[in-house]
Structure 1
């Protein structure tokens, strides 16, 4: 079974939970899969420095979670909507992507927190206390994409060129010319091109 935390960035890993190679492309079909996604990406408690932490690292007890801390069908639908918004943002070329990200961020409940980092102030985007799971994932995704842009990765953020795959990835190759998210997709694309040339 393919793991969810492939890049460690919610922004990319959530976008990549739709896999066109599968007979059923939906990799988050139910609350159990969403719970596993949250666990793998640290959304159950430790958010890796992003989002609001809850005492004891509990997933339950927040607005948008069903009674007893279980994820609900509404949580699943809301997270699917965040994924679609992410995929829309990521599908744009860099200048349009910036505008799409700004528009999305403007519609989210985002708080700016100033904290100490190495003796200097540092700002961090976070979802307000009591935000539901989808809002927290959305804010975390926006924060990660802004961090990626600040580190020089905005132009290297791409969607896989192997049809039908549309997985998002950051090209970390030295020349910056990578087109495929994985060797799996590169091999499939090269094999398809070879068949087309012969046929």
Structure 2
């Protein structure tokens, strides 16, 4: 399994969308058929101009100004909250959590729709095999963080939980290694127990 780091690694490329003129009945049919909670609304050029969600449709059902809307363009939420494919998974998760969003349209540099990422897509990182996580951590620690021969670090991963142990030259290095390990996609938790090498 490849390292899952960006939205592009986990997003859905086949996207159901609407345009401003799409009748609301067709929007609801598409949501039910594809079992999705929101649709990006795109311009004729393919740029994301808004999002229409179940929440928007419920506002229409309640009455008020929204009750007169008959098309996606009249009821959609603007501006659309979007993310680019090269955005990090953690950043996209924070964006979703802050906005209480279930799905985000993924756009290219011109704002054109290229995919959709859902909460479920972002959770794929926790399906990484333990050995993949361990291998990435070993490479990261031994090739980038610790000069050759200056420390002995063992990496064990079980159910996404990382255990680090070994011998390090400086006790403060333990906190650094734990922080780095937590950034690796798929890591659930990190514990560390190191001995400090005493100079002869």
The two structures share one fold, judged by TM-score above 0.5: no
- Higher relative helix content: 1
- Higher relative strand content: 2
